[in-house]
Structure 1
Amino acid sequence: MTADEVRAVRSRLRRDGPSRTRSPELDFQLVTLPERDCDLLRDVLIAEGVETVVEVGLAYGSSALAIGEALLTVGAPRPRHVIVDPFQRDAYDDVGWDVLVEAGLDGVAELVATPSSLALAHLVAAGTVADAAFVDGSHRFHEVFVDLYFLRKLVRPGGLILLDDDWTPSVRTALRYYERNLGWTPVPAAFAAGTLQRIADDPAAPEVPRCRAVRLPDPSFEPPFTTFEPFWDDDQPRPPTG
């Protein structure tokens, strides 16, 4: 198992697509992280020298392959890739996991097939410490918010959290709470050359990078309950009232 072998599987997946998909036929193109963003994800993790990475959401395995390539390139003594996806077996027929096995990454990666709100809590209780996390699971606001709540306890102080689909109002808003209230610092250079998408898919909205990276404060801290910064962006639709 080498980084070159993983790159070969990534190339095959990009060229030929997965061996099977959910319906409709174009589900792979709709769901998977674009190759350009996978490369940027890999590069930022290599620059961080990661040894342990937590990923939420596996689907067809494109981002997981990029993370695996990063771990092998870094060459840490005990690489670990924890992937949380309760839908991999039932909804995806293990197609993402199979591609990791094809790449020889099953010795590094482990699949936790339970909801992230439970799986991440168990990882915290087990004392897991990660260098970085990649979030591409549920896009519902409350579930993204809970994922980030537990990931701030899993990822070491000064580590990175990276997210897909920052153009969606739900993901964007959940993340902004932590940026504005808990000292998470944007790392705009990480995905500056990545895929762009208009906020809320609104033709009149500005284009932003699809993925976003933030760095956790070091040392970590808890803000006083008397301090609260509003976190709803002015560049996206307001939630419905009534």
Structure 2
Amino acid sequence: MAINDLEPIRQARRRLSQDGPEWTRGPERDFATVTLPERDCDLLRDLLITERAGTVIEVGLAYGSSALAIGEALAAGAEQSGGTPRHVVIDPFQRDAYHDVGWNLMIRAGLDRIAELIRQPSSEALPRLLAEGVVADAAFVDGSHRFHEVFVDLYYLRKIVKPGGLIVLDDDWAPSIRTAVRYFEYNLGWTVLPEAFAGGSRVAEGVTTGEEMTRNSGAVAGNPRCRAIRLPAERFEPAFDDFRQFMAENL
């Protein structure tokens, strides 16, 4: 199977969307709650194709819906450019929590030719990738939703993703994630691309986050699930005394 053979990837995406994964953790709606909805996956794929992304880092694999979409984008880009894409997936829970369902799906779609799975916490994997000199065109973040862990992910991805590149976050409705992102917006010149997921799913749609999670999280009904952010064209470090408040009350 060639790197740019798109049909097995598209078939895998259709089967996952229509039939669900071969195994789920439970409860009954775990897959619907956890996985990135198909239309958001399509938007993510299209965005990465438009960006001509050749190397993408993904934090969090779970059932593999976003990974397949990223793989399709990379394979489509390779078909156009003839280049060799790279997809680095980080998920320490893929085996124990998900029985390797997402990774096995990627293998069956032929994406293990361009993808690698790092079974470490992102707080360990990202510094190693940085030390190895990895440069990514884009990143997709759907790992821990704890503020301090999201912040660490973004801290390292800022150094790994090229200037002018993209970082896309899932579950932007969560105050912990929005607060972490807001620091980088306020202090490091990150720019939100509001139209990138304008047609995507939103908080109030139930299956996106689960009614109980939405009700108890402080999420604002109608917020898009995903957010795309453009990094500045040049890297810079602000002066320590040039600090702008970014806490949740400013959201």
Shorter-chain TM range is: over 0.9
- TM-score, normalization by structure 1: 0.94
Q: Which runs of 5+ in 2 are unaligned?
A: none
Among 182, 191, 207, the residue aligned to 2:222: 207
Confirm whether residue 183 of structure 1 aligns to residue 198 of structure 2.
Answer: no
The separation in 2 between residues aligned to 1:24 and 1:149, in whole angstroms, is 34
1:117 is matched with which residue? Answer: 123
Kindly report structure 1 stretches of 4+ aligned residues shifted beyond 4 Å.
Answer: none
Q: Is the 8 A contact 1:134 1:162 kept in 2?
A: yes
Among 123, 126, 137, the residue aligned to 2:132: 126
Q: Which runs of 5+ in 1 are unaligned?
A: 237-242
Deviation at 1:204, TM superposition (A): 8.9
User: Match for 2:11: what amino acid?
Assistant: A
Structure-2 change in CA distance of 1:21 and 1:206 (3 Å):
closer
1:239 is matched with which residue? Answer: none
1:20 is matched with which residue? Answer: 23
The separation in 2 between residues aligned to 1:27 and 1:235, in whole angstroms, is 32
Confirm whether residue 229 of structure 1 aligns to residue 244 of structure 2.
Answer: yes
Deviation at 1:233, TM superposition (A): 4.1
2:53 is matched with which residue? Answer: 50
The separation in 1 between residues aligned to 2:46 and 2:193, in whole angstroms, is 13
Q: Is the 8 A contact 1:205 1:235 kept in 2?
A: no
Confirm whether residue 61 of structure 1 aligns to residue 64 of structure 2.
Answer: yes
- What is the RMSD computed on CA atoms of the aligned residues? 1.7
Q: Deviations over 1:201-235 (max 9, x none)?
A: 24994421110000000111111101111112447
1:78 is matched with which residue? Answer: 84
Confirm whether residue 102 of structure 1 aligns to residue 108 of structure 2.
Answer: yes
The SS at the match of 1:90 is helix
Stretch moving more, 201-210 or 72-81: 201-210
Structural mapping, 1:130-141, within 5 Å: 130-141=136-147
2:10 is matched with which residue? Answer: 7
User: Match for 1:214: what amino acid?
Assistant: I
Q: Whose helix proportion is higher, 1 or 2?
A: 2
Among 93, 98, 105, the residue aligned to 1:87: 93
User: Match for 1:49: what amino acid?
Assistant: R
Confirm whether residue 173 of structure 1 aligns to residue 172 of structure 2.
Answer: no
2:232 is matched with which residue? Answer: 217
The separation in 2 between residues aligned to 1:209 and 1:33, in whole angstroms, is 12
Q: Is the 8 A contact 2:136 2:160 kept in 1?
A: yes
Identical-residue share of aligned pairs (%): 63
Q: Is the 8 A contact 2:193 2:229 kept in 1?
A: yes
The SS at the match of 1:189 is coil
The SS at the match of 2:94 is coil
- TM-score, normalization by structure 2: 0.90
2:201 is matched with which residue? Answer: 195
Deviation at 1:78, TM superposition (A): 1.4
